[in-house]
Amino acid sequence: MALKSTIFKAELQVSDLDRGHFQTHSLTIARHPSETDERMMVRLLAFVLDADERLEFGRGLSSEGEADLVLTDLTGAIDLWIDVGLPDEREIRKASGRASRVKLYLYGGRAASLWWRQNEAAIARLDNVHVVDVPEEISRALAASASRTMRFDCTIQEGDIWWSAPGAETLHFKLPTLKI
């Protein structure tokens, strides 16, 4: 018998001063049995950084060739394709052909650095691909805050990110951009 996804609930109060987006998002997140808290929380971070009322989670790890998050326009065309982790370079090329914009959120410390060194030249040729590195200390701190019911206040100003949960210490960080 196949294992089922674990359901998480998250309420995000997003105040993105850089993009002028101020909204509370109530999300239901299905975490695949093989997905870690760290990966799930990096997906949640990607949602916050690209928050929009039309941004949706994809079907996840069980569905190859699909985005982790996707933003479609009113016609159904893909405006933004977001992948988290260390995706296959061929999948990124396919995504860049299907979407107006593609964002990659790399995480995993040394593994992410190695992945970037191996794929940087190929990714550089893709004009609509943006690559952001999530440092290991940030992804692990986010993972430590994972629970079945979560509430976070997230503020973004001039690229600085403040991430806080009630009764917990506020994380303040900036994510390195590897490719714009």
Express each pLDDT in 154-174 by its tens digit: 999 999 999 999 888 999 999
Residue 65 is assigned to a structural domain of this protein:
yes
User: Which pLDDT does position 167 carry in this prediction?
Assistant: 86
Query: Can you give the CATH number for the domain in which 57 is found?
Result: 3.10.640.10
Nearest CA among 60, 176, 42, 36 for reference residue 113: 176
Extract the tokens encoding 84. 């988290």
Residue 5 is assigned to a structural domain of this protein:
no
Residue 161 is assigned to a structural domain of this protein:
no
pLDDT digits (tens, 9 = 90+) for 14-61: 999 999 999 999 999 999 888 999 999 999 999 999 999 999 998 765
**Rg (Cα) of the chain, in Å, rounded?**
16
More confident residue, 116 or 61: 116
User: Which pLDDT does position 4 carry in this prediction?
Assistant: 85
Domain range for 143 is 37-152+175-180
User: Domain tally for the chain?
Assistant: 1
Residue 2 is assigned to a structural domain of this protein:
no
How high is the mean pLDDT of the chain? 94
Residue 20 is assigned to a structural domain of this protein:
no
Across the range 95-107, mean pLDDT stands at 97
Bridge-based pairing state of the strands 78-84 and 99-107? parallel
User: Which pLDDT does position 2 carry in this prediction?
Assistant: 63
Residue 143 is assigned to a structural domain of this protein:
yes
* pLDDT(90) > 80: yes
List strand residue ranges (DSSP E) for the chain, in order: 6-16, 21-31, 55-57, 69-72, 78-84, 99-107, 129-134, 149-157, 160-164, 171-174, 177-179
Extract the tokens encoding 8. 């998480």
Local confidence band at 81 (pLDDT 50, 70, 90 cut-offs): very high
